[in-house]
Amino acid sequence: MKNVKKNVCVTVVGTLLLVLSSSFSYGNNLKQNSRPYDLIFQLLDLNHSGYLEGNELAPLTSLLNVTTDVVPILISLADENHDGKVSENEFTIAGGVQGILDLYRTYFPN
């Protein structure tokens, strides 16, 4: 029962993040559009370390219909300096949640 509640929560959070993220454009207008990503980044950064690491990107897995085993792949898609975590700047450059999902689908099509 505990896993069911956790999966439902992860799905709800993932869907909410996608809805929030999809309402913002991503790409070259980094300074103009970066503020909305700040809120989404803070919601994902559960331990408030200033980085997305570990399973903090787990809510995205429900949007991709994959297991949490792919979280390291999601991190690596946005991790420009290859330090194993995603900074707020890297998250914004990647295009937030929608950008990371698009990158995953590009490199790992079903």
Domain coverage including residue 84: 2-107
Q: Where residue 70 sits, what CATH number does that domain have?
A: 1.10.238.10
**What is the pLDDT, as a whole number, of residue 20?**
54
Residues 70-110: pLDDT tens digits?
999 999 999 999 999 999 999 999 998 889 999 999 999 87
Residue 27's H or E segment, with its range, is none
Q: How many domains does the chain have?
A: 1
Say if residue 33's pLDDT is above 90: no
| Burial of 1 from C-beta contacts in 10 A (0-12 / 13-18 / 19+) | exposed
Give me the torsion for CA of 101, 61, 39, 98, rounded to 10°.
10
Residues 3-26: pLDDT tens digits?
544 554 555 556 556 555 554 444
